[in-house]
Structure 1
């Protein structure tokens, strides 16, 4: 049995990751902010955490961790000229600074466990979509952080990022609020469907496992072929 920490584990991709790890019998420590967990597992320990707080309390986690997953994120698509500089700061604080604070708080436990860290980017970084300047700026930083930390902490801790396309999660609900929107978005992908939280959890689970023990510093695209195939 291994021990994992999932930040933002009560909804969307985080919830799917927690379910997969707990079903395998691992001990999971998972946080929630606004969405309190509904499911109860004897091997899952939920505790409240707001990554925007100045200090973070991780006193409940063990002194040795086998893996960390950072899930908090936002999708705010607007024309660049309408986005305030404060909006860029707020998004960066949530998606990047929050991850930095969590990793710094847990790095010693991860080194003891020779752990694996999984962060999340976006297909928009490679593709260059309009109205994505906010999220692409933060996720671009995540990709740089992933590679830098992978180098700094090798061989003790592995760092990888997953870059999804639009997935059917609560975070993306406003873009998939009708069958017509789902169908239209699906048609933009070579595999002709929208990804699920489980699709992203599957690759996350692989990167946390010993099966990926020779993989670090990578940004792995799980996007229905959108980033590499022309239709």
Structure 2
């Protein structure tokens, strides 16, 4: 079945990889970008949107949506005492309030589909505490709460799930993976001894959007190379 799918942040990283997977499957995409100019892609309508500072452009959406994916994120890492309260607010605006804006705008179109799905993104740092991750863990912890609350409220017609990756090799993580030494060191922290990549996370998201996942909702999936559950 050809689906109408909205991807927020589809021009880079996991969002870009997911857009490629979904268009290859024949779906129609409505996609947003901010800093990264999108490449031309079949069956995709683009709009520029600043999730922090702008209202969502409601007139951009089709009448019926079968899925929404919210991909924008940030990785701000430093000691807690160096974060200000405003740092927490700024990160929450991007990672949580931005998602709320998109989902509020899309809700009516999602409800018109017989069966719809939402995928949000958390992080391994919510359930597994890491130093210097206070800001990102706080925002993504809110995303996990939002995932479960909306899954309950929007059932049975809209499924809502989240993916919690560990560090993946994407432009968002470029500062942490800026050379081979850093990449090797971060890879060794994972039981599988390598970093994840955007395509692997995108495939997991595509599955959660598909009819094959029609009995899955309210879940947070740890796609993290074993980081959250294994010690070896």
Superposition TM-score tier, normalisation by shorter sequence: over 0.9
What's the counterpart of residue 115 of structure 1? 116
Spell out the pairing of 1:145-164 with structure 2 (5 A cutoff). Answer: 145-164=146-165
What 5-or-longer segments of structure 2 have no aligned partner?
Answer: none
Q: Distance in 1 between matches of 2:66 and 2:155?
A: 15
Aligned-residue CA RMSD in angstroms? 0.8
Shift of 1:112: 1.0
What's the counterpart of residue 41 of structure 1? 41
State yes or no: 1:168 paired with 2:149: no
For the residue of structure 1 that corresponds to 2:7, the secondary structure is strand
Q: TM-score, normalization: structure 1?
A: 0.98
Shift of 1:41: 2.1
What's the counterpart of residue 190 of structure 1? 191
For the residue of structure 2 that corresponds to 1:174, the secondary structure is coil
Shift of 1:54: 4.1
Spell out the pairing of 1:2-21 with structure 2 (5 A cutoff). Answer: 2-21=3-22
Count of residues in correspondence between the two structures: 230
What 5-or-longer segments of structure 1 have no aligned partner?
Answer: none
Shift of 1:15: 0.1
Spell out the pairing of 1:81-120 with structure 2 (5 A cutoff). Answer: 81-113=81-113, 114-120=115-121
What's the counterpart of residue 143 of structure 2? 142
Shift of 1:2: 0.8
Q: TM-score, normalization: structure 2?
A: 0.98
Q: Distance in 2 between matches of 1:105 and 1:221?
A: 28
Q: Distance in 1 between matches of 2:54 and 2:197?
A: 33
Q: Distance in 1 between matches of 2:54 and 2:129?
A: 33
